[in-house]
Structure 1
């Protein structure tokens, strides 16, 4: 198992105009990858599981690629996991990475784990967000296995859920949004809320991967 959220926390402000937008990635020591591994182990139950370590910076080029018109993210990730796995010899590799989506009703991308404040003054609201990806690789070929949601039933359920609410977002009180991005690193209330939300997300999406 490879946990690769890598603990950066995003603090993002979306103002009433583009000039009010702010974005910062804050290094935090919240043990988010340790939490990811713990929840994968819980979902795996009796399935033997071990954590594969990797060098610091191994995912930098994947998360911050050079501009390209023809990027193949699946191939990039497959090659990266092949390098990291080395001679580990596992039957399969479960990899949890930061994901990406769009803020509902906008063309504003949201990536990874973070907190968002939208609006201005009293006319604003805040959300925690947790966009994560789970990818399973064949241990011999490093081809990406089909996920449990890639069925007609799974697609229809996802479409139905998206009309109700985006489960990757959790509304929080505006007081949780840090005054400055750097303040978030030492904010234990924000940390605990993020860990709780990430746990909820992982416990929902992981079990089907071990039921296949």
Structure 2
């Protein structure tokens, strides 16, 4: 699946507020020859029954391998399919854990629906990723009416990194593994955005950002030897896979409860 294809295609190059960043070279798309392990199923039919929370995970099946140069125009990026890591399934499981006692359903969609669903023609200069994401929720909602919808999608950090992947800085610089996602909660009737926040493993303070979120989101520094010689090698690396799953789990478990909490009724 292409990164935020169609309706969300530009989001990997945008901040959560829609502010544009410097464009990067067109990345190479790598499709490694691997077999999907047993137990991992593609998106199937819509789950039946009442739905209090509908989950729409977007973009969790791509791993970005970024080798940065001294200048941004010298950066090299490749995208590798990591569908076998089942990260979208992990997202749904963490929402269910955070919303214990609620009926949580995954809202499936096809690549074609992601490309065209609810997209509005917007002037490039005034493009709003938030608008496209909200429209995508409206587009999918008739599949299964839910009280609320949660979209978990790739987030842009404060540096060059975006989404899920690994980066290497030049001149013997560090190698970072990162898993930066953003969460949006929508009302199931009005489709108004109720709450939103980046998925973080620590408190969102200046000190915590400086000490634990130097890239603007969950990350860990690895030995330079862990950077894959070939982008396709990343998918079969258990250190990268387990590191991403751990960061994604911790950040969602830290962030989701507050976003899912309903306000107490006034007396």
Bigger share in strand: 1
Q: 1:172/1:55 Cα in 2 relative to 1: closer, same or farther (>3 Å)?
A: same
Does 1:97 pair with 2:153?
yes
Shift of 1:22: 1.0
| Distance (whole Å) between structure 2 residues aligned to residue 87 and residue 35 of structure 1 | 22
| Distance (whole Å) between structure 2 residues aligned to residue 161 and residue 189 of structure 1 | 25
Is the 8 Å Cα contact of residues 113 and 129 (structure 1) preserved in structure 2?
yes
| Distance (whole Å) between structure 2 residues aligned to residue 162 and residue 186 of structure 1 | 31
| Distance (whole Å) between structure 1 residues aligned to residue 164 and residue 156 of structure 2 | 10
Tell me the residue number matched to 2:131. 75
Tell me the residue number matched to 2:173. 124
TM-score (norm 1): 0.82
Does 1:210 pair with 2:247?
no
Is the 8 Å Cα contact of residues 95 and 136 (structure 1) preserved in structure 2?
yes
Shift of 1:60: 4.4
Unaligned runs of 5+ in 2: 1-54, 263-267
Shift of 1:13: 1.0
RMSD of aligned alpha carbons: 2.5
Is the 8 Å Cα contact of residues 56 and 149 (structure 2) preserved in structure 1?
yes
Asked which structure has the greater RCO (Cα within 8 Å, sep 6+), the reply is 1
Is the 8 Å Cα contact of residues 148 and 208 (structure 1) preserved in structure 2?
no
| Distance (whole Å) between structure 1 residues aligned to residue 248 and residue 97 of structure 2 | 14
**Aligned match for 1:163, one of 202, 210, 215:** 210
Q: 1:203/1:185 Cα in 2 relative to 1: closer, same or farther (>3 Å)?
A: same
**Aligned match for 2:95, one of 40, 49, 54:** 40
Shift of 1:87: 4.6
Does 1:52 pair with 2:103?
no
Tell me the residue number matched to 1:189. 239
2:194 match: secondary structure = coil
Is the 8 Å Cα contact of residues 60 and 164 (structure 2) preserved in structure 1?
no
Unaligned runs of 5+ in 1: 150-155
Shift of 1:113: 0.6
Shift of 1:198: 1.4
| Distance (whole Å) between structure 2 residues aligned to residue 97 and residue 19 of structure 1 | 26
TM-score (norm 2): 0.66
Equivalences for residues 21-40 of structure 1 within 5 A: 21-28=75-82, 29-40=84-95
